[in-house]
Structure 1
Amino acid sequence: MSAASAPDYEWLFTRTRAGRERGPGAAWGLLSALGRPDGAFRSVRVVGTNGKGSTCAMLEAGLIGAGVRTGRFTSPHLNDFEERIRVDGVNLNPARTAAFIDWARAHAGNAAFFDLSLALAAQVFAQDGVQVAVMEAGVGGASDATHALRRVAAVALTNVALDHVGVLGASVAQIARDKAGAAQPGVPLLTTATGEARTVIAEVARAVGAPLLTPQTHPALFRVPRAPRLEGPHQEQNAALAAATLRTLGFGTGVEAALNASHPGRLERFEAQGRTVLVDGAHNPHAALALALAVPRADVLLFGNLMRKDTAATLIPLLAVASARVFTAPGDLATPPAELAAQHGGEAHPDPEVALARALALTPPGGTLLVAGSLYLAGQVRALLRRS
């Protein structure tokens, strides 16, 4: 692709939601301007606090394994924007991103980045003859842009924990109510959520008229024959949700393929300089606790996250994993690494490349370095490791 046809990513990435109204309204307008391409395929909406990306990866693999022409829309990307939009496991061609950006600059007004990305995905899936698209929500359920999608065949709700409290609510119950708002009349709502969240989800499902399927109500539907390829006990719950969704849609033959799915930045294993490096995008307390259970011991922790996250609660489960710590900044809006080092002990290196080099030096030969705190950091570190 020539430089002249390269996508104007800078324009796209600056289309933040700041100052724009939340909800599906803007996405509905964009999809309408494109001729409602989302009507050309069936969608599976995946919502929840954590595990959405892994569940989407397993659903994608399962659908492809069942012989279905499959689209996948996820966020964020780790290294390239086109990771967000895939057809049959292949990332979008950047030339199509460039063409869409040219259209959007002329016709999309003040549309936000996520809404634009969703509209591009729907357009691509319609043009490429996708039969079923796996669509990951950004934030929330009823308040998310993916709520604008037509022909939703199923809603898969992974779990509910405190995250995005400034947007979705200050309690698990409030957040669960928003996420469960993805439910639609007559459309199966599947969830592996537990406790108070499951109670709220059940109330919303009854009110909407959505059939609710859970491991408690339909144990055979959620059964998995073996552990998934993705590492960590938490992935077994994601695998159960993916398997149940595939069976509900009539694609149970794809369960085995789903269990073989891989997903970058989720306990992804690298070997570097004779050390094992585990890269995970855990970026909130619920995800960090699951990671600490999956990796109870490492020699060094490399951590960096964004200030808008609950840094203290996210870091607490990981402090017990490693006594040696290196703190870094995955972006301009990161929690200052010097503050974290002063409070929790360790070294601060704002540049992720410098931080990774120092963390590897602190890790003994044959030892393990754990990287966590942000999907942005996961993307930066895995790019450095792959380059080297």
Structure 2
Amino acid sequence: MQAAPDVSDNWPDYDWLYSRTRQGRSRGPERARALLDALGAPDKTFRSIRVIGTNGKGSTCALLEAGLIAAGVRVGRFTSPHLSRFEERIRLNGQEIAPQRSAAFIAWAQRHAPDAAFFDLTLGLACQVFAQEGVNWAVMEAGVGGVSDSTQALGNVAAVAITNVALDHTAALGPSLAQIARDKAGAALPGVPLLTTATGEGLAIIRQMATERGAPLYTPQTHPALFGLPRSPRLAGPHQLENARLAAATLRVLDFGEGVSAALDAEHPARLETFTVGGKTVLLDGAHNPHAAGALALAVHSLNTASVDVLLFGNLARKDTAATLAPLLALAGHCVFTAPGDLATDPQLLARQYGGEAWPDPLAAFARALALTPPGGTLLVTGSLYLAGQVRERLIDGVSGPAR
């Protein structure tokens, strides 16, 4: 097949691209590899750092990107999902790609890869752009899992970083922590550094897999100096310390230790991001599973905020809603439930089960939740990155800018 053209004057056909989300239900890297090969194997022109884990992948990618840019290399970053714009997923030296790049690739895919899955197409676009733009290092976030994820198809992987292991995506990865850990740890490659801040059973399985695969393993227990931090990261919350430690260790293992300080200054939207609206505090976070919600609850307690007055929550129905809500309900005096998309948990059902109000439209729900928040009070918005993205766009465009 011919490679996708470099430019296009047309606006991207996002509807077609998003319709590919239901394609490729047989998971695995084989189809992604076939697509990359059809594009001329662009992934083999740069070195990749794969970032895998249940939570914290996006923040770790942001930290790594900032550190690599400071170290003076040309950097690509591939993450998901996006908050407001598709192009947030693919960045060159800290800048989103132009929509024209997406348009050209989508037009090519419609002709030459019409049956490819959404994630594989997005990965292919990222790799092609990185190759065309002379990227030296790319930070590549896995979608779901490790060995079963499309990013397993990447060539020239220089390091694999696993943030943590917890229950999520059980339909795809298996119902037990052990099964999920084996899938993530299966990304280990012979001779390629494997770094993790996972603990407990997850760490034990990662250690076993590293031995079987011949991957040198680095953990805070085995290499404490590598994981040490000169100061706390700018990203808020105790959980971000672990992400920062993992990013710092990865940079040092790859001889980019001079970038650690810059990495700690990285920002990443909708990760306990704080806004001020009319004297009220809005905390915005994408926590979408029990592990992330528990970390968020601890992080909120660590802030100077006295309490959360209102919780605005909406999530996808395939998630463990009860376990995700449990630590969040303990924070707030009043709840507003909403639906961040077609596949969301019914907010009416949540309101009946947990008390509070149901406003299906996310922006109407945000307006209601903000109105319920008393002067000087705090509103916490969480449950889904899709919800966070919709509310954040409203905050940026019309209500208030980020608090600094």
What TM-score results when the alignment is normalised by the length of structure 1?
0.98
Structure 1 CA distance, aligned partners of 2:24 and 2:116? 11
1:108 maps to 113
Query: What are the Cα deviations for residues 15-48 of structure 1, in whole angstroms up to 9, with x where unaligned?
Result: 0145531000010000000110001100000000
Check conservation: 2:36, 2:42, Cα contact below 8 A. Answer: yes
2:383 maps to 373
1:287 is displaced (CA, Å) by 0.1
1:1-388 counterparts in 2 under 5 A?
5-18=10-23, 20-296=25-301, 297-388=307-398
1:90 is displaced (CA, Å) by 0.4
Query: What are the Cα deviations for residues 51-86 of structure 1, in whole angstroms up to 9, with x where unaligned?
Result: 000000000000001111000000000000000000
Structure 2 CA distance, aligned partners of 1:21 and 1:195? 31
1:4 is displaced (CA, Å) by 6.2
Task: Give 5+ residue unaligned stretches, structure 1.
Answer: none
Structure 1 CA distance, aligned partners of 2:22 and 2:190? 29
- Shift of the 19–221 alpha-carbon distance from structure 1 to 2, 3 Å rule, reads closer
Task: Give 5+ residue unaligned stretches, structure 2.
Answer: 1-7, 302-306, 399-404
Aligned partner of 1:206: which letter?
A: T
Check conservation: 2:53, 2:163, Cα contact below 8 A. Answer: yes
Structure 1 CA distance, aligned partners of 2:363 and 2:154? 40
Structure 2 CA distance, aligned partners of 1:164 and 1:327? 22
Aligned partner of 2:18: which letter?
A: F
Aligned partner of 1:15: which letter?
A: R
Structure 1 CA distance, aligned partners of 2:203 and 2:174? 16
Aligned partner of 2:370: which letter?
A: L
Q: How many residues align?
A: 387
- Shift of the 370–313 alpha-carbon distance from structure 1 to 2, 3 Å rule, reads same
Structure 2 CA distance, aligned partners of 1:170 and 1:355? 33
Check conservation: 2:23, 2:116, Cα contact below 8 A. Answer: no
Structure 2 CA distance, aligned partners of 1:329 and 1:203? 41
1:366 is displaced (CA, Å) by 1.1
Q: Root-mean-square deviation (CA), in Å? A: 1.2
Structure 1 CA distance, aligned partners of 2:206 and 2:90? 29
DSSP-derived class of the 2:21 partner? coil
- Shift of the 334–173 alpha-carbon distance from structure 1 to 2, 3 Å rule, reads same
Aligned partner of 1:276: which letter?
A: T
1:323 is displaced (CA, Å) by 1.4
DSSP-derived class of the 1:376 partner? helix
Structure 2 CA distance, aligned partners of 1:129 and 1:4? 23
Query: What are the Cα deviations for residues 257-293 of structure 1, in whole angstroms up to 9, with x where unaligned?
Result: 0000000110111111221101000000000000000
1:148 is displaced (CA, Å) by 0.3
1:109 is displaced (CA, Å) by 3.2
1:386 is displaced (CA, Å) by 1.0
Structure 2 CA distance, aligned partners of 1:4 and 1:151? 33
What TM-score results when the alignment is normalised by the length of structure 2?
0.94
DSSP-derived class of the 1:15 partner? helix
Structure 2 CA distance, aligned partners of 1:108 and 1:312? 40
Aligned partner of 2:250: which letter?
A: T
Check conservation: 2:23, 2:115, Cα contact below 8 A. Answer: no
Query: What are the Cα deviations for residues 226-247 of structure 1, in whole angstroms up to 9, with x where unaligned?
Result: 1100000000000000000000
